Amino acid sequence: MSAPHVAVRPDPRGCTAGVLLALVIALAAWWLGRLMPLVGGPVIGIVLGIVTRNLAAPGPRFTPGITFAGNRVLQWSVILLGFGLSLTQVVATGLESLAVTLVTLMVAFLGAWVLGRWLGVHDKLKVLIGIGTAICGASAIAAVTPIIRPEEHDTALAVSTIFLFNVVAVLVFPPLGHLLQLSDPGFGLWAGTAINDTSSVVAAGYSYSHAAGDYATIVKLTRATLIIPISLALALVVAARDRNQGAADFRLGRIFPWFILGFLAASALRTAGLVPTAMLALLQATAGFFIIVALAAIGLSADLRKMMASGARPVLLGLGVWVAVSLGSLMTQWLLGQV
């Protein structure tokens, strides 16, 4: 995972090999998920992808398709999930989750600054890991990279660190949620505010229950929109420090998560009754399978050896901030009676 996967838009014409590989793994994961429903196809998909990547790494010709599947197919799945939710439900859930989301953002930024300083992690890497944990993982890291202009190694290291805890979250959050006896909305709120990347939020949420998955998806998309004001604020800070270049590479259109508009449009169509009822089950099933394909592709991007060779301090920083955000989310939910 040498660069943030959202920073590159591969040509679909050169993606066949990688997409087919992700599709084969996803089909196996879907079948195994039906045999082991408590684990589920999404979790199995990401695990099979990681195992494949680190036992028999695919060649360069697979890379464009893997990137495409891990990014575009995931976005399509989120859009399709919108057909299963009414727009009124989306708005209500976004407002319900806003307080917990804002608290976790503050915890992430403060934790990254304090722990990063104690560990001796330099400022740009602290920013990348803090923003990746606070908002939406690799997508947020990719969004702020042209603003703060870190070294390429720092970007790759931050993405890899965030990705590591995405995988851990998918595996440990559902059993922890059952252990804590969280309600479906309670788990969805926890997953949506404490797990970094959209794919991992969706996987953990739907592994817990369908209702939790719906709730977690909306919470996560609400959280993802905050990348816009945060990126704008960061660009102003950088511009103030650097009069000559400042935010010259900063473009709002590049960082805006456009697939959120697709999700809202799908939800609006569902709310208006413009989607035949007979099609809803098919759209939801397609969304579920696309999620497995995307997670298989993301697993295929994880180079565990590179991550282990990069040193312990960034990983410890990522771990500390992630644990702080997870606990902060749960404590805030408990105080607000939203567990």
CA separation for the pair 189, 92 (Å, rounded): 13
Segment of 1-15, 78-92, 98-112, 237-251 carrying the highest mean pLDDT: 98-112
Distance of CA 225 to the CA centre of its chain: 13
Phi-psi region of 181 (alpha: psi -120 to 50; beta: other; left: phi over 0): left
Q: Report the chain's mean pLDDT, rounded to a whole number.
A: 81
Query: Has residue 226 got a pLDDT over 90?
Result: no
Tokens encoding 282: 């098919």
For residues 188 and 184, what is the distance between their CA atoms, to the nearest angstrom? 6
pLDDT of residue 281 exceeding 80, the answer is yes
> H or E segment at 85?
none
With a pLDDT cut of 70, the percent of the chain lying above it is 84
Only one residue has tokens 């990014």, namely 71
The residue that leads in pLDDT, 123 or 106, is 106
Q: Is 149 left (phi over 0), alpha (psi -120 to 50) or beta?
A: left
Question: In this model, does residue 77 exceed pLDDT 60?
Answer: yes
- Specify the 3-state DSSP secondary structure of 152: helix
pLDDT at 273: 84
* Residue range 118-142, pLDDT digits in tens: 988 888 889 889 988 888 776 677 6
Decide which of 316 and 14 is more confident: 316
CB atoms within 10 A of CB 106: 12
Tell me how far apart the alpha carbons of residues 125 and 155 are, in angstroms, rounded to a whole number: 8
Domain ranges of the chain: 76-291+305-336
Q: Which of 98-107, 236-245, 247-256, 301-310 has the lowest mean pLDDT?
A: 247-256
Asked if 318 and 165 count as a contact pair (C-beta separation under 8 A), the reply is: yes
Task: Give the residue among 103, 95, 161, 156 at the shortest CA–CA distance from 134.
Answer: 103
Would you say residue 82 has pLDDT above 70? yes
Give the mean pLDDT of 259-283.
84
Least confident of 25-29, 41-45, 117-121, 314-318: 41-45
Q: Name which of 46, 85, 325 is nearest 190 in CA terms.
A: 325
